[in-house]
Structure 1
């Protein structure tokens, strides 16, 4: 963090006590659906980073230089770090494993500092987690989805320090790690034969000397194998294999920054496949963020209103242009989650200020669903509110049962639970979209085959058998694949949804039992090798997913 972010908590208290009642405003959008449930009031750590693994367990972690957490390390372990500014000997855990099926938490041991780090999952299901702060800025950490497993750490696994970087899985299974604080370059993991980092001038172009508004860039693997990279208010199409920019996209029309600390969020909208190939191209949606100057203004005690716009662009068009849309409420530090039915959930964040210690205001408690296939002007639908503000350092991820796991929020340098606007939040919630309402039970499919953990190849016919309790509209059945994402700081790395088609129509094979054939993605460019959640969707209501491994 910059020096100005390390304001003491006492200075923050003085700021908010003189800021007036506006600081306590809770922003609500019109609500119409969804249900909230508190899963755990205290998991011991604040969920700054989350990753769902293919054993239905979620790896959650915060940072190691924060002082004592609320959960002890296992087996009497302690972390000893003479350079730690908070606690040189720390016997508390800063990472946990959350078991979705049992709603239980297990403490994990991470030794190097994971603060503001990045990661993604390998084709065999391991979480590869990279970078962080201080002794963790060159570290690579590995977490395997196995019973009783813990972190493995490689202290010098990276070429350059990576703090606020973004990871993207490539078609060959490697990760490209892009940017980070004062790192205008990228590297690969595992390391290539040429063990070096490669300069990326675009990151220099989008950096502000006062505020690096290009951290945690939004990165997506395009359908041509190149990378769409968005930072600040601009984007490029980048050929990493040739180290060259293929295309420069227009600047977003309002000119405001959308990446950290003016933190908006972004998704690659669902890719629709026929016979294993994409039809209709690829589109990116970028929503919310902080006004230009919001970070500096917040440092001076003035909290500017967040952006209430989204920009949508077809990145595969020869002459792409941004189409701007207006959200029901302004939002900074929000998360965007792809739902199994292809809709986008926008959740968490505030309506004023910026990312950074104590810099966000006015929690937005109502999620919003964005229906990408609806006409412009009818795409946003407000949802029912949570009662827990989720501000700086909050997260949200999709679970296999269709719920969205929501956690985190710690706007403070250390854990602070009293005397502040937004206390450190250690709870986990689940948001159940309206497709999980009891009234939709008769429409909800249940997958019979294939079984979970099935391996499938590229461009193969996959026959999916399922049941539906009520009357089936065979014309409104689809099959989707969703990649589990690594989520932190309002961006879900490697989040990807594919709508499969081209295998045949739905047929009846028994009482309330049906089959549909679909073609798997044609290559690793469309779906990098690894584990995905596969869903059957009927009239916008998804089944519980199963895990499939494509390779």
Structure 2
């Protein structure tokens, strides 16, 4: 049997990601394990929080109460804050706006402390950022994209009814944001604020008086509109409209805590509109064993867990299926790639989250393919030269790269005399699908309907040099995440239903597909639409649902 060049490339790509243990004798391709690129060596702040916006700019911010950053506010501006615990007058920036296209950035001004806060993007594309620490713990801040150089943060003080520090946010089908938990906050509330605070006994029950382990709870919106909440080792399904817990799921079997400071990560696997009944499945990986946080404070760093758990929430009798990563991991980020695979990136092998509490950096990303045979699911990628420990973050970019930044496990910026110096750089990881070897089969979107109505037909025209077949074509939308502390809030992918494909020529094609069926599947807002051809994605194009 012989193969042409394109078939060899696809087979190489398949075996690289699906079966790393099998010997493969085709030529070596440069992008087989992905590639790293340093974008900026010093952006002035450490990237504790990141959000991609629909103008292809990234809002990045740190905290404000530790002293000066390494970037000044423009125009002689200064922040005057008599409640700041470090400086009463601070003329440095603690937030920036990064422009992907030009690889440049400008300083933004936040007035109150954003330390360990949360966020979500509402339907008009505005980032709503919630809480923080000290004078920022009751604050709502908004940032709306603009096509000039003057837009900045707007702040609404004392908006939140409770202190929200280490809380998690999720956008809801009706456009509200639910804000869940926070340090010693066993309740939730909404933005816009309509009804005050709602108690949630589950958060009190999962609070560990020694290590906490239920901060930044994992939130996932399900196809029926209810909210999956995971904290510590337990999970529930919440009807937030009725303030009622519908069901509790089995505990994760190995009893390893997964939330801050034990800090694993979680994703909702892609929702597929092609299968009739839409199945919702959660993947949770990494974390630290009980007592690890206290042991780390005494200089003893216990190995993190190497386990992942999968739970099909929509099953009648769901149970966890456990798997093992190539290495133990804590403080790692998990992101959905355009292919529907999951990249696990950043973090360490031992200790926990928290100041100077982690050790043994893991600089090699892992790609997890959820639909493959369990023996073939994990593939180890090329290593970075930069450790990304506590207070690092990662997000998916429009072109399919992963933007990585941050790492500052210290109360202030410390560049010398510490195990892990404060890192102010940004770098990008290009997964194997971005390798030049796949250029001939990579689709390029030419035009599309930019508004996707619920259940409505839309069209996408695209170009591809070597068209393989209709059977390897798919289209999906991805909601960009608000990422901090190893949890990508609001992240979701919906695989849409293709109803026809028209071939204008050998390299020009148009597909017709159906928009997401409901707001519970895809809340109204901006998404990245990707066309996939033979597992190779196009660059994403911005569309709006609803």
Q: Same fold (TM over 0.5)?
A: yes
Give the TM-score band, short-chain normalised.
over 0.9
Q: Which residue of 2 aligns with 1:11?
A: none
Residues 54-133 of structure 1: pairs in structure 2 closer than 5 A: 54-133=54-133
Count residues with an aligned counterpart. 516
For 1:332 and 1:312, how far apart are their aligned partners in 2? 17
Tell me, yes or no, if the aligned pair for 1:273 and 1:502 is still in contact at 8 Å.
no
Aligned counterpart, 1:541: 536
Q: What CA deviation, in whole Å up to 9, does each residue of 1:300-350 have, x standing for no partner?
A: 110000110000000001110000000001110000010011000000000
TM value normalised by structure 1: 0.92
> What stretches of structure 1 move > 6 A for 4+ residues in a row?
none
Aligned counterpart for 2:314 among listed residues 294, 311, 316: 316
Report 1:472-511 matches (<5 A). 472-504=468-500, 506-511=501-506
Q: CA deviation at 1:152?
A: 0.3
Change (3 A) 1:479 1:332: same
Aligned twin of 2:205? 205
Alignment partner of 1:252 is 2:258? no
1:516 corresponds to? 511
Counterpart CA distance in 2 for 1:337 and 1:35 is 17
- Which of 405, 409, 424 is residue 403 of structure 2 equivalent to? 405
Q: CA deviation at 1:377?
A: 2.0
1:279 shift after superposition: 3.7
Q: String of CA shifts for 1:93-112, please: whole Å, max 9, x gaps.
A: 00000000000010000010
1:51 counterpart residue number: 51
Task: Give the Å deviation of 1:511.
Answer: 3.6
- 1:39 equivalent in structure 2: 39
Give 1:4's aligned residue.
none
**Corresponding residue SS for 1:302:** coil
Q: Tell me the distance in 1 between the aligned counterparts of 2:452 and 2:131.
A: 32
Q: Which residue of 2 aligns with 1:217?
A: 217
**Residues 32, 329 of structure 1: alpha-carbon distance in 2 compared, 3 angstrom cutoff:** farther
> Which one of the candidate residues 394, 403, 409 is aligned to 1:396?
394
Residue of structure 1 equivalent to 2:323: 325
Match of 2:263 in 1: 263
For 1:341-367, what per-residue CA distance to the aligned partner results, in whole angstroms no more than 9, with x for missing partners?
100000000000000000000000100
User: What is residue 379 of structure 2 aligned with on the other side?
Assistant: 381
Is the contact made by 2:46 and 2:424 (CA closer than 8 Å) also made in structure 1?
Answer: yes
- Cross-structure match for 2:162: 160
Per-residue deviation, 1:370: 0.4
When the two chains are superposed, the root-mean-square deviation of aligned CA atoms in Å is: 1.3
- 1:24-67 deviations in Å (ceiling 9; x for gaps): xxxxx999510000000000100000000000000000000121
Shift of residue 77, structure 1, vs aligned partner: 0.8
Range with greater deviation from structure 2 (80-89 or 124-133): 80-89
Residues 278 and 228 of structure 1: is their aligned pair in 2 closer, same or farther, counting only changes over 3 Å? farther
The corresponding residue for 2:192 is: 190
Which residue number corresponds to residue 358 of structure 1? Answer: 356
Specify the SS of the correspondent of 1:479.
strand
Question: Secondary structure of 2:495's partner?
Answer: strand
- Residue of structure 2 equivalent to 1:466: 462
Contact kept? 2:467, 2:506, Cα under 8 Å: no
- Report how far residue 502 of structure 1 moved: 4.3
For structure 1, which segment, 462-471 or 240-249, has the greater mean C-alpha deviation from structure 2 after superposition?
A: 462-471
Cα 1:347–1:411 shift into 2, 3 Å: same
Cα deviation, residue 293, structure 1: 0.9
Residue of structure 1 equivalent to 2:153: 151
d(CA) in 2 for partners of 1:468 and 1:216? 42
Q: Offset of 1:86 from its aligned partner?
A: 1.7
For structure 1, the 5+ residue unaligned runs are: 1-28
For residues 83 and 456 of structure 1, the distance between their equivalents in structure 2, rounded to whole angstroms, comes to 46
The one of 333, 337, 342 equivalent to 1:344 is 342
The Cα of 1:278 is off from its aligned counterpart by 5.6
Q: Deviations over 1:395-450 (max 9, x none)?
A: 00000111000000000000000111110000000000000001011110001111
Report Cα offsets for 1:169-195 as digits up to 9, x if no partner.
Answer: 000100000000010000000011x3x
Aligned-partner SS, 1:503: strand
**Superposition deviation, residue 472 in structure 1:** 2.2
Which residues of structure 2 form unaligned runs of 5+?
Answer: 1-19, 22-30
- Taking a change above 3 Å as real, the CA distance of residues 476 and 189 of structure 1, as seen in their structure-2 partners, is same
